[in-house]
């Protein structure tokens, strides 16, 4: 007897119909989540270039001023920092933007792409939300595809807005086609690093690891570009950060083909990212996590030891980065002295310090700027408390009998100490390079003193972030107020024409302009008291509120 059987239709598996099913729904979800973050990124990056062009107009109003700056551009440190001047004979405003802004702005475009892509892919898997979403009608590649669609669109929108802002300036040398070449070159660089991140998020199972690898590639690209530009060799072509400048925006012989190179590389990287995503499970990485030691190090048995371990990589990266940043500026000391003597307009953007030389005023402005940048690390260190709480990792620690004050205090101790180290590293880099250039080792001592004077202002940023964490954790984002306000008002206030009273709302506005003037105890003690009060309020608030694990 023959039994004729008919195969039972397979139950339709959710999301198996197409690997991109639900992509547009995911796009809408990402846009909803980033309805504030994305406009801030796009607006800030657009203003960065457009505002810089306006500052160039105010600082270098004559052709003689711009010619003087073009001579300074030949210094090796300047070449390493922003690249070679590709049209020194006619250094108009367009060439000035293309030469001085392309590399640094492309760096920030890359940073935006890295942080956003990690946030919407690997971080979602780490938090467990990606697995929940995939249980619905969502294809295998929809999450990565949606994140890339949003990030590529954000890069293109920023590039176009930047181009429109430049083209509408009407300044000498700023052409419409050059503006779009400049803007799209930046967007292309950002898309390339989105492709890099599409690969790194497949490698490790942790968002911080994926971001760290992508940022390492970004830093390596900058170093390759700098080495290639200084040596004028092929190494710079290995860096996506060079391709924008290789297009020579606003030059007589500007070229579009480097954009095709960037698009091709980005397509290959993104394709590799999709391919690698099929070789792993949700929540897992291609690189298996290393087995830890069966016995914990004695250093990890205390809350401070654990906090040090968690912050170690970030602190090292920030310390080295700010030291190199300061070192780069310090190497310009000799050239800047000549430039300041010839550019009277530049003196208008420096702090007005009675009796101080222009060089001392410039150095005082720099150490303030580096300290404000260091406050970014301080806020990030405190915000780690929030991510530990949200991820649920804080609960096991607190369940061991460690008090809330002790757990929070250990992270704050690391934030206070590490931020001071980062500020001093910036001062050491700036002072050390300046001392070598000037042959005056007293300069190093004075710069270390100036850096130390800024630490209380950085600690106020730590205190504000701690107070928000303890009292109003949902408003943790307001902790960025001090770094952002400091950059806009204290550092760029003279350029943007802000009134003097606005400086009073930033702790950095109360720090004496060392080394141009002497140290003052009153603002130092007041800022320390404010930092202590905010920190105490934060710790007290955390003791009383509920944990918010997700």
Q: Transcribe 26-45 into DSSP letters.
A: HHHHHHHHTTTHHHHHHHHH
Confidence at 1, pLDDT banded by 50, 70, 90: very low
The per-residue pLDDT for range 105-143, each reduced to its tens digit, is: 998 899 899 999 999 999 888 877 888 887 777 888 999
Mean pLDDT computed over 13-40: 83
Helix, strand, coil proportions of the chain in percent (round to 5)?
75, 0, 25
Give the range among 370-374, 431-435, 513-517 with minimum mean pLDDT: 513-517
pTM (2 d.p.):
0.76
Cα gap 298→295, rounded to integer Å: 9
Q: What is the pLDDT of residue 66?
A: 82
The yes-or-no verdict on residue 393 having pLDDT over 80 is: yes
Q: What is the dihedral of CA 54, 55, 57, 62, to 10 degrees?
A: 180
Residues 6+ apart with CB under 8 A from 176: 163, 167
- Please state, rounded to an integer, the average pLDDT across all residues of the chain: 86
The per-residue pLDDT for range 304-321, each reduced to its tens digit, is: 898 998 888 889 888 988
Q: What is the pLDDT of residue 17?
A: 63
CB atoms within 10 A of CB 99: 26
Q: What is the distance in angstroms between the CA of the first residue and the CA of the last residue of the chain?
A: 60
CB atoms within 10 A of CB 124: 22
Give the range among 155-169, 254-268, 386-400, 403-417 with minimum mean pLDDT: 386-400
CB atoms within 10 A of CB 10: 7
Residues 6+ apart with CB under 8 A from 180: 160, 163, 167
The yes-or-no verdict on residue 511 having pLDDT over 70 is: yes
Structure tokens at 119: 């946030």
Backbone angles phi, psi at 122, to 5 degrees: -65, -40
Percent of the chain residues past pLDDT 70, beyond the cut: 91
Q: What is the pLDDT of residue 416?
A: 96
Among residues 122, 136, 138, the alpha carbon closest in space to that of 277 is found at: 122
User: What 3-state DSSP class applies to 103?
Assistant: helix
């Amino acid at each position: 007897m023959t039994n004729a059987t008919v195969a039972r239709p397979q139950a339709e598996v959710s999301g198996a119909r197409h690997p991109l099913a639900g992509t547009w729904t995911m796009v809408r979800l990402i846009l909803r989540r980033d309805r504030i973050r994305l406009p801030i990124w796009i607006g800030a990056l657009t203003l960065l270039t457009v505002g810089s062009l306006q500052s160039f107009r105010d600082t270098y109003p004559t052709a003689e001023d711009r010619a003087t700056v073009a001579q300074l551009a030949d210094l090796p440190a300047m070449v390493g920092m922003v690249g070679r001047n590709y049209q020194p004979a006619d250094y108009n405003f367009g060439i000035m933007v293309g030469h001085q802004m392309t590399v640094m702005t492309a760096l920030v475009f890359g940073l935006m792409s890295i942080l956003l892509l990690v946030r919407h892919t690997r971080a979602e898997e780490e938090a467990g939300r990606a697995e929940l979403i995939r249980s619905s009608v969502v294809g295998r590649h929809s999450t990565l595809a949606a994140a890339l669609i949003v990030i590529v669109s954000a890069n293109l929108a920023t590039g176009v807005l930047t181009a429109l802002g430049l083209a509408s300036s009407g300044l000498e040398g700023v052409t419409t086609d050059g503006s779009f070449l400049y803007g799209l070159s930046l967007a292309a660089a950002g898309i390339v690093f989105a492709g890099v991140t599409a690969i790194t998020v497949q490698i490790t199972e942790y968002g911080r690891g994926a971001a760290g690898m992508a940022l390492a590639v970004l830093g390596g690209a900058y170093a390759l570009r700098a080495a290639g530009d200084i040596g004028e060799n092929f190494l710079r072509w290995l860096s996506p950060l060079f391709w924008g400048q290789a297009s020579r925006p606003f030059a007589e012989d500007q070229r579009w083909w480097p954009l095709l190179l960037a698009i091709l590389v980005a397509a290959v990287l993104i394709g590799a990212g999709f391919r690698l995503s099929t070789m792993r499970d949700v929540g897992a990485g291609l690189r298996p996590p290393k087995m830890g030691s069966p016995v914990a190090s004695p250093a990890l048995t205390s809350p401070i030891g654990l906090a040090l371990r968690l912050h170690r990589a970030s602190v090292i990266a920030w310390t080295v980065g700010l030291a190199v940043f300061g070192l780069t500026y310090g190497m310009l000391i000799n050239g800047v002295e000549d430039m300041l003597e010839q550019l009277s307009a530049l003196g208008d953007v420096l702090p007005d310090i009675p009796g101080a030389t222009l060089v001392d005023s410039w150095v005082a402005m720099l150490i303030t700027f580096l300290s404000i940048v260091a406050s970014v690390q301080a806020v990030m260190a405190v915000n780690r408390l929030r991510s530990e709480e949200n991820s649920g990792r804080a609960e096991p620690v607190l369940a061991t009998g460690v008090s809330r004050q002790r757990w929070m205090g250990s992270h704050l101790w690391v934030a206070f100490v590490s931020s001071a180290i980062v500020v001093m590293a910036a001062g050491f880099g700036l002072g050390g390079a300046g001392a070598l250039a000037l042959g005056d080792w007293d300069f190093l001592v004075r710069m270390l003193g100036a850096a130390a004077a800024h630490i209380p202002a950085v600690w106020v940023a730590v205190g504000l972030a701690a107070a928000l964490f303890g009292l109003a954790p949902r408003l943790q984002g307001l902790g960025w107020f001090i770094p952002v306000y400091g950059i806009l008002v204290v550092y760029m206030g003279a350029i943007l024409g802000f009134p003097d009273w606005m400086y009073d709302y930033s702790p950095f506005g109360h720090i004496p302009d060392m080394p141009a003037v002497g140290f003052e105890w009153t603002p130092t003690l007041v800022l320390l008291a404010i930092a202590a009060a905010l920190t105490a309020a934060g710790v007290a608030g955390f003791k009383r509120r509920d944990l918010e694990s997700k």
